[in-house]
Structure 1
């Protein structure tokens, strides 16, 4: 039986409690746009998902550059129609796991996690690309559950076909990387240190060791030592390979 993403999501999201009333007052959409323009790697688009109403809101114009469709055409049902059929079961299983994960939380803790997983969508020209789907909850009450979502083209970074799900903890919360959706509550230790993550992000922007050392007020020798450590940790042979591995596993 063929899966209907839209209807299945409505069933999954219908289990979200209605007695929670919380809003992330620190979320600033305009600030998020500026941060994306400066720091994001790869082509991307963003939107707000009203989970309660299964409605995509404020789809950014960049979606046309990434997928080839005008923003007004992008709906949840349409995305379901262009998702790779092999990825749809992963997507729905992830959404079950995500809903269960957040149903066990309340208040400000809801806003302390970034969720990310990947899937493939078909562009207007018929080509499939792999997108990294990342979101944070920005509102949760009886009428609306809203998330801010970013979809980034990572086709050049991830070649294997198995989608992965991670919960990235913020403000001291634990992270859960590449979780088994049958056993999602087993935390994993961070693979890279915070400094290594800083250096990875700088490398992703095309900065060299000298520029990174100046930006973080550390010596070039220290930067090179971190880069060497990351090569050893990942068994990678180049910076681009490290970045690919890091994005695939949700480490940055």
Structure 2
């Protein structure tokens, strides 16, 4: 079985329909290799190339995924499934969702290339993603690290591939505590934070103690490490 075929039902919940909300990124941003995919739907910019292959050689999302380096394939699939699932369940407006992924592909000449894939939601029904459009760039020259990713959109700061409990994290800290946390991450001391937020130093210290207690860590460095892992800062 081709690797992505069994995942399509998880990625796209519905087939694109005439009454969906649709952003036409594909035609408006037709720069370089690009494709649009959905359940039982695939469209590609056939005049471009990826890794030495003409895009006209690709007729499905499976064909695109078969280019991915074997050591990066499971990561790319995992990201795709979890990012769309997160958007469908945690974002107030899935059309705000967009992401960037860096991984390796094997070109026509059997050489490895590092590519950056930027994806945007292009279709939605009832705030569920029906299709997206992706643009490829060859970033081999940048020596970028494979398996790097970024997700943007509503509540995207709570998304992380490494932790299942990340969705619960957004309910742990209050808005003010997150503000204090992010200033701590920038190297601010309690006095500086109090001045920046126009609150007392005692209030800042109380927020700090409460955050340590809520996530059961001993000190601020541990708090910041955990928060970075959870994409809060």
Shorter-normalised TM range: 0.5 to 0.7
Where does the alignment leave 5 or more consecutive residues of structure 2 unmatched?
171-177, 186-233
Partner of 1:84 in structure 2?
A: 69
The answer to whether 1:56 aligns with 2:42 is yes
Where does the alignment leave 5 or more consecutive residues of structure 1 unmatched?
37-43, 192-252
Map residues 1-252 of structure 1 onto 2, 5 A cutoff: 4-13=2-11, 16=13, 22-24=20-22, 27=24, 29-33=26-30, 36=31, 44-49=32-37, 51-53=38-40, 55-63=41-49, 66-74=50-58, 75-104=60-89, 109-141=93-125, 145-161=130-146, 163-169=147-153, 173-176=154-157, 179-183=160-164, 185=167
Residues 119 and 177 from structure 1, CA distance in 2 versus in 1: closer, same or farther, beyond 3 angstroms?
farther
- CA–CA distance in structure 1, aligned partners of residues 61 and 25 of structure 2: 24
Alpha-carbon offset, residue 84 of structure 1: 0.7
TM-score (norm 1): 0.54
Larger Rg: 2
What is the root-mean-square deviation of aligned Cα atoms in Å?
3.5
**Residues paired across the two proteins, number:** 167
- Deviating runs (4+, > 6 A) in structure 1? none
TM-score (norm 2): 0.58
